[in-house]
Structure 1
């Protein structure tokens, strides 16, 4: 309790004493193992949260629908998809006369599997030596994170991927894309903040061609469709 009051966790305190004892004994401290990067963690957490919600009830009530809606929205599933899924589940619950949580859980899994669809490889035009993917969207919509996920998948499918940090308006965006590039082991072409995005794309196209990359994914600054000048820039 006192450790928490002074802003220090008990585990951290014990690790410090353990490290000091190891130094005295001449034993090298144990190196921290990097955590395995997994893009599916958030999806698994969503499924686990919804399963727990269903398992904790014996009967299908309005409270169950409210808790399910909350779980979907807090997991950033999106209001449109969340409402569609709940309406679909309500329809099946009525058609199949579901009464128990176990019955509901089975249907929930089936509908989620249909919603996600089967995994399939992305296909590009084989006649073109380089496929360019320009990612655009409003601020905070998850463009950079989606780029990392896409690059990770394409790399695992055997593609030689390169990223371009053309969001030069926000300085942190360049560092963010570089960090994702390091995590998924994909090169990132960038310039200094406030540089010309067109120049970044030009350099990236040249680098991708020279290095034999077959997919170039370009990150851009967030913009609304009402911003005429920014839309014209694309």
Structure 2
């Protein structure tokens, strides 16, 4: 969400992060390219594509929707070669992403709460700092909530980023009840006149229904 210039100015360039994202991107699209390098569109291709998308954490519902769209386009445009499906997949993914709108901030609510969810080691805390800076640049007052209480390091890391971007951080002791942290963070946000509360959470995938609930 930040421009490249602002991102580099505030946080510097992280070679480790860039390399990690590059490896992930190459791994995913490399497997997609290999799959769609076959000569013909077959039923097995659709099944394998579904598996690859789900393994890439695209989500079951989105995967089913994507594959169904691709099936319809392939039939409608009478595509026979799998190579053409790769470009169609890119177009459909872009179409889904372009159709998303940003959540409104402070429209009818005194405080907007954003929960940041993801597996450990994927850059949640750094992304929180970037989001905080993004909203601050747009005149919003931001407060952070350290609800990843399972790892003491996560709390300390969020406090460090809070100091760097100039945000208050609401935190409890390690192993505290995450719900209590969020409650206190909301109360603090309301009391301090914050516009946005961004909450760090313990590692989980968005596809894990029970953990999300």
Cα pair distance change 1:60/1:95, threshold 3 Å: same
Aligned residue-pair number: 184
Q: Is the 1:167–1:221 Cα contact (8 Å) retained in structure 2?
A: yes
State the partner residue of 1:114: 95
Shift of 1:220: 6.2
Are 1:124 and 2:105 matched, yes or no? yes
Q: Is the 1:205–1:216 Cα contact (8 Å) retained in structure 2?
A: no
Candidates 32, 49, 58, aligned match of 1:77: 58
TM-score (norm 1): 0.56
State the partner residue of 2:154: 176
CA distance in 1: counterparts of 2:175 and 2:157, whole angstroms: 19
Three-state SS of the structure 1 residue aligned to 2:113 is strand
CA distance in 2: counterparts of 1:100 and 1:162, whole angstroms: 52
Q: Is the 1:135–1:218 Cα contact (8 Å) retained in structure 2?
A: yes
Q: Is the 2:28–2:56 Cα contact (8 Å) retained in structure 1?
A: no
State the partner residue of 2:8: none
State the partner residue of 2:29: 48
Candidates 198, 202, 213, aligned match of 2:184: 202
CA distance in 2: counterparts of 1:85 and 1:133, whole angstroms: 30
Candidates 33, 38, 41, aligned match of 1:57: 38
5+ unaligned residues in a row in structure 2: which ranges? Answer: 1-12
CA distance in 2: counterparts of 1:119 and 1:34, whole angstroms: 28
Are 1:142 and 2:151 matched, yes or no? no
CA distance in 1: counterparts of 2:78 and 2:209, whole angstroms: 46
5+ unaligned residues in a row in structure 1: which ranges? Answer: 1-32
Are 1:161 and 2:142 matched, yes or no? yes
Three-state SS of the structure 2 residue aligned to 1:68 is helix
Shift of 1:50: 5.3
CA distance in 1: counterparts of 2:99 and 2:72, whole angstroms: 23
Cα pair distance change 1:112/1:177, threshold 3 Å: farther
TM-score (norm 2): 0.61
Three-state SS of the structure 2 residue aligned to 1:192 is coil
CA distance in 1: counterparts of 2:107 and 2:14, whole angstroms: 37
Three-state SS of the structure 2 residue aligned to 1:76 is coil
Shift of 1:72: 0.6
Shift of 1:104: 1.4
Higher relative contact order (CA 8 A, sep 6+): 2
State the partner residue of 1:6: none
Candidates 68, 76, 80, aligned match of 2:49: 68
